[in-house]
Amino acid sequence: MSNCNLDEICENVKIGRQYVLLGNYDTAMVYYQGVLQQIQKHLNALNDQELRSSWQSVRQELAQEYEHVKDITSTLASFKLEGSYSAPSQRGNRAVFEEPTRDPDVWPPPTPVDQVQHRPSPNYGRRNPPRVSDRRGRVGNSAQANPRPDERVVKRQPDRVKKVERGRASSPRRQGGNDPNKEEKKFDPTGYDKDLVEAIERDIVQRNPSVHWSDIAGLSEAKKLLEEAVILPLLMPDFFKGIRRPWKGVLMVGPPGTGKTLLAKAVATECKTTFFNVSSSTLSSKYRGESEKLVRLLFDMARFYSPSTIFIDEIDSIGSKRGTGDEHETSRRVKAELLVQMDGVEGATGGDDASKMVMVLAATNFPWDIDEALKRRLEKRIYIPLPDAEGREALLKINLKEVELADDVNLKLIAEKLDGYSGADITNVCRDASLMSMRRRIAGLKPDEIRNLSKEELHLPTTGQDFVEATSKVSKSVSSTDLEKYEKWMKEFGAA
């Protein structure tokens, strides 16, 4: 955009805001409409996606200001209608509307400025702002009518547009979104229910989950497969094209408590992608047809914030087999919309462009209940097993890194005794063992005596005997029969 056009946009925004400060809302709306048309015309000529998204953010903010001014105008108009007429009285053969009585002790409202006869057009090509009259009838330059707000507007608006012109340098995607002064992309809710968009923004979108590979013990094979399916296409976009295109869907199968959700968050962190954490309650609504809209809106927002990761936890609750006798019509429609959107992820997100990738990660404890068509769309199916001996020892170290241990604690020996325990079971054992010393110290004490205990008296080292007692209290949650079912399903349908 030329400097002349940029100056025109700045000038029109400034004048429009000045008219708002003066109470001339109708004229201000004209200027806002003109600015929005100018920005839209500029957007149509832009090819740079990041610069285009920054300009879209500017346009959305100005559109919100325009809607506020529009709401104020509607409210004032309703007040005029309510206060202008009283009950009609008959005078002759026609009804006469009398002005309502007014309390002499109450000051009348100021004369509205919107009675100006001539409504100027937006400042296209003109450098000087129009001459307007304030509420006291003084005529002068609009820049002099309210100098202090004007100074605030002039200082803010050019800086905002300069950020847009810097383009890639000010893009939050380039900077990783760590700078609070950088502006993030904002999804345009036009064409959607605003409440649904706000619900997804509030409940689903999670940027920078801050879970790294080092926070997950063991599962080296699963990490390697996920890195190849999700992370490498972003690091080597030129290689993953054509038949080597990135996987559209990955299904993680395994017993509960093995770290499937943590793996999904680690993928989002390592990829620097936007993370959508979805559950069945997120995509459900009591209104007919709204659940399908939520599914479509979810994928549209994921494409807008791409590269992004959609993690659907417990996908069997959403994508169970169709055609069963107890299946509800709403559930079937949601599944159909989910299948359609997953099939359209690749074509609608830029084809081979890895920066536009939308990866669907799913996790389930009941893979045998998933619909066949959904299973086909989840091209990679990875088994997340119970931790082995090395994984159990690493998980013990991670959970106990802030706990003081006695000299008789042998983590390797404890890990061997926890064979068959899931990651969540081992975490429960560590939590229970770390509380043993506190339980012994407060045994038999009254609440007042417990309150007076010092910090040093409570923070005692955790001993090996504490782990023995904790292990006897916490049993493993996965049976051998369940493990056989998972292994049998993976032999038949696995795609690791």
User: CA 123, CA 494: separation in Å to the nearest integer?
Assistant: 65
Of 167 and 403, which is predicted with more confidence? 403
Class at the top of the CATH hierarchy for domain 3-166: mainly alpha
Q: What is the mean predicted confidence (pLDDT) over 228-250?
A: 82
User: CA 405, CA 348: separation in Å to the nearest integer?
Assistant: 54
pLDDT tens column, 20-46 = 888 888 888 888 888 888 888 877 877
Least-confidence region, from 26-30, 188-192, 375-379: 188-192
Query: Which pLDDT score is estimated for 431?
Result: 92
User: CA 193, CA 189: separation in Å to the nearest integer?
Assistant: 7
- CATH number for the domain formed by residue range(s) 389-477: 1.10.8.60
Domain positions in the chain are 3-166, 194-383, 389-477
DSSP for 116-164?
Answer: -S--PPP-SS--SPPEEE-TT--EEEHHHHSHHHHHHHHHHHHHHHHHH
Of 207 and 15, which is predicted with more confidence? 15
pLDDT above 50: residue 383:
yes
The DSSP bridge pattern shows strands 249-253 and 380-383 to be parallel
Sorted by sequence, the CB contacts under 8 Å of residue 354 that are 6+ apart come out as 233, 234, 237, 240, 246, 307
pLDDT tens column, 151-188 = 444 344 444 434 434 433 333 333 344 444 445 667 77
Of 427 and 97, which is predicted with more confidence? 427
CATH number for the 194-383 domain, one of 3.30.1490.20, 3.40.50.1980, 3.40.1640.10, 3.40.50.300? 3.40.50.300
pLDDT tens column, 141-150 = 444 444 444 4
Q: What is the mean predicted confidence (pLDDT) over 402-430?
A: 90
pLDDT above 50: residue 55:
yes
Percentage of residues in the chain having pLDDT higher than 90: 4
Q: First-to-last CA distance in the chain? A: 50
* Separation in Å, CA 361 to CA 253, 255, 278, 456, 485: 11, 17, 10, 45, 22
User: CA 196, CA 347: separation in Å to the nearest integer?
Assistant: 25
Q: Map tokens 């997120």 to a residue.
A: 282
Same fold, 3-166 and 194-383: no
Mean pLDDT estimate for the chain: 75
Q: How would you label 6-24 residue by residue, b for 16+ Cβ within 10 Å and e otherwise? A: bebbbbbbbbbbbbbbbbb
pLDDT above 60: residue 477:
yes
User: CA 20, CA 63: separation in Å to the nearest integer?
Assistant: 14
Percentage of residues in the chain having pLDDT higher than 70: 73
pLDDT tens column, 101-134 = 555 565 666 555 444 444 445 554 444 554 544 4
Query: Which pLDDT score is estimated for 91?
Result: 46
